[in-house]
Amino acid sequence: MAKLEYTLIDSFQKFNFLGKRLFDFINVKINISTGNYVGDGVTEKNIRIDIIPRCIIVFPSNDELPVIWIDGFVKPISKQFDGMTITDGILGPTIKRDFFVVSMGINIPGDNYNWIVFGE
């Protein structure tokens, strides 16, 4: 798992996805953590992270679309990159926010997945 820190120094910075505002930061530190996992088919698989997540993106190695979860999505909602809402993708972080949880839709046995988390 890799962890990077960035500080945005622009007076105003926006990241947009699917026409919705993802982040508005003014001189705020953004932590980025990355990693991967191999699917095992478990209904709710915990993935350990070392930052408080605000946005999680999981990239399947097969031809499936990446899946995104943004802080504020109602559990168990996440979205594919085409905008389709799914309920068997990223279920969000655990209560202590030291893991995020993926469901069977992005935990197919034997498939490889890469992830990136933006947060604090």
Q: For residue 67, which of 75, 82, 55, 79 has the smallest C-alpha distance? A: 79
Say yes or no to pLDDT of 21 above 70.
no
pLDDT number for residue 45: 92
Say yes or no to pLDDT of 14 above 60.
no
Confidence of residue 28 (pLDDT cuts 50, 70, 90): low
Residue 109 sits in a domain whose CATH number is 2.60.40
Say yes or no to pLDDT of 85 above 50.
yes
Q: For residue 52, which of 30, 74, 35 has the smallest C-alpha distance? A: 30
DSSP conformation letters of 60-90: ESSSSPPEEEEBTBPTT-EEETTS-EESSSE
- Give the Cβ contact number of residue 53 at 10 Å: 22
pLDDT number for residue 73: 80
Structurally, how many domains does the chain consist of?
1
Structural domain of residue 36, as residue ranges?
A: 2-119
Burial readout 75-107 (b: 16 or more C-beta within 10 A, e: otherwise): ebbbbbeeeeebeebbbbbeeeeeebbbbbbbb
Choice between 2 and 73, residue whose per-residue pLDDT is larger: 73
Choice between 73 and 68, residue whose per-residue pLDDT is larger: 68
Q: CA geometry: angle at 4 spanning 44 and 57, to 5°?
A: 35
pTM (2 decimals)?
A: 0.75
Confidence of residue 106 (pLDDT cuts 50, 70, 90): very high
